[in-house]
């Protein structure tokens, strides 16, 4: 009887810990709750270790993720998998066996807030393996350096170096890749890097080979407004809570973690901040860039006066288009390749992606906007067991189908 009672108590405690009120439209909410419970546990353990001075929270979190997720490069009947260097950056290469002599090519940047994850993780290995097989394409999954050991622009520089090497005739010939059928892609922070690389290389007149496509999966594109409608609507929706995103930005840009409340209050983009001029503000003005069904009844949060504490270096990084591609000039956007932008309704980054769609369209770039009304941040990499999600499967299949039609 005592064991049954103890079991009932433990089950109740577990259910209380796992349960989280979610919007009614979220796909398979209990799966998202379980995923969030695991992620919160890892985050809390890492925060505790950090507070005790044992190690940086990100180091422990990455160690836990690596222990659970990282796998060796293993080939199969359909795909040859190897680890190599691309532009001096560690990269996992997925080469389909058979098929056409000249393959399509995709360089891919994983997500994780510029601080977590790896192309060697099981979820990304499965993603790139499926892309290679379904598209008959060579996929290069880049392991750029991570915060806090590397800060902006290190991650961007790694992504740029890998992409530059990927576009070289030597690498294309070595892997049998068609120079006319190349794509740069990534999810979340990786989508940020992909967008920034697409802007940089499309304006480089010295390149003889360029990307045909850019495919951005729920990308993070700006850090000046943490009160867009999607940030307000989804601030408490897992797995990417609003404070987490501010923390990731500060880690990426080398800012002090004590500035997190300042960013969350939009004090860093106050009207008296001369580093954020009117032209910059117009490039992320969601009151004009978003359709009414996304704006809903949310109101902009604009502070007249900011707070001291921001360094010139951090302010410069916050407005640097290599870190915040949404802030790029129209003429730069107009040079970038045909685009695919995936967004999810229950994601704080939804409006970053939708505003970028609008700005690309205004610049004359053909764009496919693929929005999931029941989607949440990170859903596409949860398209297989053990956390198989219906919206994850749909979004992955549609992403690959778009690449197949356009690459």
Q: What is the pLDDT of residues 186-224, one digit of tens each?
A: 999 999 999 999 999 999 999 999 999 999 999 999 999
CATH of 23-407, one of 3.40.50.1820, 3.40.50.720, 3.40.605.10, 3.90.550.10: 3.40.50.1820
Report whether 165 contacts 202 (CB < 8 A). Answer: no
pLDDT(8) > 50: no
pLDDT, position 53 = 80
CA distance 297 to 273: 27
Both tokens of 66, joined, read: 């690596």
Q: Domain residue spans in the chain? A: 23-407
Please check the confidence at residue 43 and state whether its pLDDT lies above 90. Answer: no
Alpha helical stretches, state H, 121-228: 122-135, 154-166, 169-175, 189-202
Would you give the end-to-end CA distance of the chain in angstroms?
A: 64
Among 90, 141, 163, 188, the active-site one is 188
Write out pLDDT tens, residues 297-319. 999 999 998 887 777 889 899 99
Instruction: Tell me how many degrees the CA angle 358-393-146 measures, rounded to the nearest 5.
Output: 70
Cα–chain center distance at 74: 25
Neighbours of 288 (CB within 10 A): 9
188 as an active site residue: the answer is: yes
Rounded to whole angstroms, the Cα distance separating 37 from 42 reads: 9
User: Which phi and psi angles does 11 have, rounded to 5°?
Assistant: -65, -40
Closest CA to 64 of 122, 117, 142: 117
pLDDT confidence of residue 406: 98
Residue in the structure block whose two tokens are 């307000």: 232
Q: Please report the pLDDT score of residue 52 as a whole number.
A: 81
Q: Which of helix, strand or coil describes residue 187?
A: strand
pLDDT at 2 over 60: no
Whether 151 and 75 have beta carbons less than 8 Å apart is answered as no
- The burial of 13, by beta-carbon neighbours within 10 Å (0-12 exposed, 13-18 middle, 19 or more buried), is given as exposed
| Per-residue H/E/C for 71-128 | CCCCCCCCEEEEEEEECCEEEEEEEECCCCCCEEEEEEECCCCCCCCCCCEHHHHHHH
On the question of pLDDT at 293 being above 80, the answer is yes
**340 sits in which H/E element:** strand 338-346
Query: What does the block give as tokens for 166?
Result: 């990927």
Q: pLDDT at position 389, please?
A: 86
What is the reported pLDDT for 19? 67
């Amino acid at each position: 009887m005592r064991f049954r009672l103890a079991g009932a108590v433990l089950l109740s405690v577990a259910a209380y810990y796992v349960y989280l009120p979610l919007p009614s439209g979220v796909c398979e909410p209990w799966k998202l709750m379980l995923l969030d419970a695991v992620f919160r546990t890892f985050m809390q353990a890492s925060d505790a270790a950090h507070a005790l001075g044992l190690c940086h929270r990100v180091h422990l979190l990455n160690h836990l993720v690596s222990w659970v997720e990282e796998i060796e490069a293993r080939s199969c009947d359909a795909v040859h998998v190897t680890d190599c260097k691309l532009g001096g950056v560690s990269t996992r290469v997925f080469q389909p066996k058979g098929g056409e002599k000249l393959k399509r090519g995709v360089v891919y940047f994983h997500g994780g807030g510029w601080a977590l994850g790896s192309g060697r993780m099981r979820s990304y290995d499965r993603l790139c393996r499926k892309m290679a097989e379904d598209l008959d394409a060579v996929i290069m999954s880049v392991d750029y350096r991570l915060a806090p050991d590397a800060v902006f622009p290190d991650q961007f520089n790694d992504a740029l170096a890998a992409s530059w090497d990927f576009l070289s005739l030597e690498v294309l010939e070595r892997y049998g890749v068609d120079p006319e059928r190349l794509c740069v892609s990534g999810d979340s922070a990786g989508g940020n890097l992909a967008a920034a690389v697409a802007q940089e290389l499309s304006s480089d007149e010295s390149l003889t080979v360029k990307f045909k496509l850019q495919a951005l999966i729920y990308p993070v594109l700006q850090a000046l407004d943490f009160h867009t409608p999607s940030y307000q609507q989804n601030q408490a929706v897992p797995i990417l809570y609003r404070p987490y995103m501010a923390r990731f930005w500060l880690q990426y840009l080398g800012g002090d973690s004590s500035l997190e409340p300042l960013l969350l209050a939009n004090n860093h983009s106050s009207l008296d901040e001369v580093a954020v001029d009117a032209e910059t503000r117009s490039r992320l003005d969601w009151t004009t860039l978003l359709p009414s069904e996304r704006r809903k009844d949310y109101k902009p949060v604009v502070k007249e006066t900011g707070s001291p504490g921001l360094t010139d270096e951090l302010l410069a990084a916050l407005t640097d288009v290599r870190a915040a591609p949404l802030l790029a000039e129209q003429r730069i956007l107009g040079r970038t390749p045909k685009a695919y932008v995936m967004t999810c309704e229950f994601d704080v980054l939804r409006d970053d992606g939708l505003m970028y769609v609008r700005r690309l369209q205004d610049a004359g770039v053909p764009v496919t906007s693929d929005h999931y009304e029941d989607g949440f941040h990170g859903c596409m990499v949860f398209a297989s067991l053990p956390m198989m999600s219906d919206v994850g499967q749909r979004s992955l299949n549609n992403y690959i189908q778009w690449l197949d039609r356009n690459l």
